[in-house]
Amino acid sequence: MSLPIFLIGARGCGKTTVGVALSQALGYAFTDTDHHLQLSTQRSVAEIVAAEGWEGFRARETESLRAVTAPRTVIATGGGMILAEENCRFMREQGQVIWLSASPEVLAERLQSEPEAAQRPTLTGRPIADEMSDVLRERAHLYQAAAHHQVNAMQSPERVVEEILLSLSLARAS
């Protein structure tokens, strides 16, 4: 199998952490849409949002998804990638889509210990635990509908990688 693998999920679910390890396990390249945007614009997410609003950021994010998509590549996507239906359609058509799911409490705990405010400006203006509950309430059905496979991301990164490899091999066998 050489199709791209897209990792989706909320901020802090481990798309970047797990994506790097998964790409190494498969001998694939690794890329990250947030990182690509940062390099191509020389601006952080917070700077893009300040200059162009979330709408401007989302349009750039769609371009970024298309620019990084390639065979034999694991792609960590921005947490809001699934907000645009065209992005969901594109990912499902181009490759395998994996949702790394985690509870709002676990996400908030991870984000609190490593906030990275420049890449994760507030989405709601609310405290982080409330924000993650709001975000999952709004987006869980979108992650679910976009994904070919859902994996529990509240395990060690090694275990998450194993589960992804298992779902992909089961999908190939069926």
Ligand X SMILES: Nc1ncnc2c1ncn2[C@@H]1O[C@H](COP(=O)(O)OP(=O)(O)OP(=O)(O)O)[C@@H](O)[C@H]1O
Ligand Y SMILES: O=C(O)C1=C[C@@H](O)[C@@H](O)[C@H](O)C1
Helical (H) or strand (E) element with 142: helix 128-146
Estimate the share of the chain in helix, then strand, then coil, as percent rounded to the nearest 5.
60, 15, 30
Residue 136's binding partner among Mg ion, ligand Y, ligand X, none (Cβ under 5 to 8 angstroms by kind) is none
From Mg ion, ligand Y, ligand X, none, interface partner of 114 (C-beta below 5 to 8 A by class): ligand X
- Using rule CB under 6 A, residue 78 touches ligand Y: yes
Q: How far is the CB of 96 from ligand Y (least distance, A)?
A: 20
Strand, helix or coil at 105?
helix
Stretch that binds Mg ion, among 7-15, 45-53, 86-94, 162-170 (CB under 5 A): 7-15
**140 is a site residue for ligand Y (CB under 6 A):** no
Q: Which of 25, 170, 41, 15 is nearest to 118 (CA)?
A: 41
Q: How far is the C-alpha of 131 from the C-alpha of 38, rounded, in Å? A: 24
Q: Is 53 marked as binding a ligand?
A: no
Which residues contact ligand Y by CB under 6 A?
11, 34, 45, 78-80, 119-120, 123
Per the annotation, binding residues are 12-17, 34, 58, 79, 120, 139
